Amino acid sequence: MKRPTGNTVSSGASAKPELRPDSPAALADVAAVSRETVDRLKIYVDLLKRWQPAQNLVAPSTLGEIWSRHVADSLQPHFLLPKARRWVDFGSGAGFPGLVTAILLMEAEGSEGVEPIVHLLESNQRKAAFLRTVIRDTGCPAKVHAKRIEDVLADWSESVDAVSARALASLSVLCGFAHPLVEKGAIAIFHKGKNFREEIIEASHAWELDLVEKKSLVDPDSRLLIISRISARSGTGKG
């Protein structure tokens, strides 16, 4: 991986960063991906743009930076946990990062006897329909669970290597969802914005966490929080 290197205009003190067009080239700021992967991601992005007017899949203000903001950001979980093959993605929405992870897994080396799969948990039926359309058109190894997270996990029995979530809920709430899966050996990786420190402090009131912070390669003020242990603190009523 390499860190972003923005081009600048050298025309004096008032020079501003040069804005480059939003395109798959932005992915190189995070990781090298194959042409085949880029082609599948293009199918995904084209579908997102087609569905966006009716479904409001992403914030309208970010439509001009789908590649540089959403797709590039969503590459990071897979490359931070490259051995994970079985994922659960909470609140998948438009598919960031879950669908991106599934597309990347199409070219990842398999583990013996372990088929790659990303379970996309999304209770909104229209968004679930969009996710299924992307899965069909890209052939990526993913399955949509169109129910509330709590309802899906209540009957969960499959092995999981990693759990992801982006722009969904507070860290404390995410820990509550992930707790039973992490207890069984999964690693949680959550995207958090500039208030990540406050969220860690808040979550620590209810949970004991083994946590590693990784600076985002897309937004230097953001972090990816990698959690390998979640234990309820005594007296909190959790767990």
Q: How far apart are CA 206 and CA 1, in angstroms?
A: 34
Q: How far apart are CA 185 and CA 187, in angstroms?
A: 7
3-state secondary structure 175-234: HHHHHHHHHCCCEEEEEECCCHHHHHHHHHCCEEEEEEEEECCCCCCCEEEEEEEEEECC
Does 96 show up as a binding residue in the annotation? yes
**Element (DSSP H or E) covering residue 88:** strand 86-90
- Using alpha carbons, list the distances in angstroms from residue 62 to 52, 53, 216: 11, 13, 18
**Element (DSSP H or E) covering residue 118:** strand 117-121
Does 150 show up as a binding residue in the annotation? yes
Q: Which amino acid is at 95?
A: G
Determine how β-strand 207-215 pairs with β-strand 223-232: antiparallel
Does 166 show up as a binding residue in the annotation? yes
Do residues 97 and 166 touch, judged by C-beta distance below 8 A?
A: yes
Q: Six-digit token pair at 93?
A: 């929405």
Binding residues: 91, 96, 149-150, 166
Binding residues for S-adenosyl-L-methionine: 91, 96, 149-150, 166
